[in-house]
Amino acid sequence: MGWAAALALPRPAGPHHVGCADVMVGRTRQGLFFRLYYPCEPHARAARPLWIPRAEYFEGLVDVGGRRRWWSAPLLRAAFSTFRVPLSWNSPFKPGSAKYPLIIFSHGLGAFRTLYSAVCAELASRGFVVAALEHRDRSASATYFCTGEPGEALREEWIPYGRVPPGEKEFYFRNKQLHQRADECARGLQLFEDISRGQVVPNVLHGAFDLSVLQGSIDMTKVAIMGHSFGGVTAVLATVKEPRFSCAVALDAWMFPLEHARYPDVSKPLLFINNEKFQTPESIARMKRLRSRNSETKAVTILGSVHHSQSDITFLTGKFEKLINRILTTRGTLDPHKVLGITCQAALAFLQRHLDLNEDFDQWDPLLDGIGDSVVADEPLCRSNL
């Protein structure tokens, strides 16, 4: 037990209990796969979902890290395969007195749908429905889709993580992925539009969440896009491809893959919540360019944070976490709970402003101007580029 580890995810702090479920729509690669976070009815006996649900994801994480599968994947499985998140699995959806706003969430490079459960659950506890997509552009560490005719047994086809091919420039490879990701986000929004209109949308996973319970409970006039790293720039582009996104929240966005020709098309308000030790001067210049086009676009930096501070990985504890931290730099000097609090409070204040919500999230408005403990406005200090 010398390498004992734990996942110390906080319970969501909002007034709603939070349920989560996996949703797969369609039986082709062009379908959608996401983890849904939503306000749910209290259920004392509800199961807690696994944090990393399948062995294939451990193998994918090893591939992303460039390690050998034969020893690294079993080690990760032994350390993390039993970790569960403090949410209610497939619990009954809780209809609200008013419709819930919707957030589509896009994961970072080498991540997948379950690695941002702390952020997504906190937003759901505040009265949002959040769909965390698992992208199929080979930027996820691993993902899959199911094939087979209705009534037949499902057959899984796995999509591995893809590196930049030899001889191909990284920008062109990542830019192609970026556009696929933004298109998937737009299709995610359309899916919820279809559900809201009463269209039957089967969830092909066995014994899975029934999407029809969402009909009449989501406010499709209050829709935002959010993401981390590669997902942050995906959120920016998605506002161009799908005008129904009212605004975007970009967590430590990796701006590199977005072509300059698209910048004049970005017109929706953006909130960049950056970490202290990731951004480069070039990336900051790109954010400033977008800020110059829209006075409602904001950029703040959380001091004492690193690139992984907004993912669940930062909440790993124990001696194994110390080993992982040496490889990924999972934790900065600021307490992870404080980073989560600043991230979600700033996002909520921004969403209230641009989704016209009748909540008390405006109490955190000063964060949007970089006013508060451990937050500054405009530019990260760029002490290192990790």
Choosing from 228, 307, 308, 354, which is the catalytic residue? 307
Q: Which residues contact 238 (CB under 8 A, 6 or more apart)?
A: 104, 106, 181, 182, 185, 186, 225, 245, 248
265 labelled catalytic: no
Is 307 labeled as catalytic in the residue annotation? yes
**Cα first-last separation, the chain:** 31
Task: Specify whether 229 is catalytic.
Answer: yes
Whether 216 contacts 195, CB under 8 Å = no
- Alpha-carbon distance of 20 to 18, in angstroms, equals 7
Chain center to CA of 76:
22
* Assigned token pair, 358: 């009748």
Amino acid (1-letter code) at residue 346? A
Selected catalytic residue, list 22, 252, 283, 308: 252
Tokens 């996973």 -> residue: 205
Q: What is the residue whose two structure tokens read 């937003």?
A: 123
Q: Which of 229, 246, 305, 311 is an active site residue? A: 229
* Coil, helix or strand at residue 135: coil
Q: How far apart are CA 81 and CA 74, in angstroms?
A: 10
| Nearest CA among 221, 213, 219, 224 for reference residue 95 | 213
CA distances from 236 to 154, 230, 309 (A): 35, 10, 20
Residue pair 284/259 in contact (Cβ under 8 Å)? The answer is: no
Six token digits for residue 46: 């509800």
R_g over Cα of the chain: 20
Give the separation between CA 165 and CA 181, rounded to whole angstroms.
Answer: 19
Residue 267: phi and psi, rounded to 5, are: -120, -15
Which positions are annotated as active-site residues?
229, 252, 307
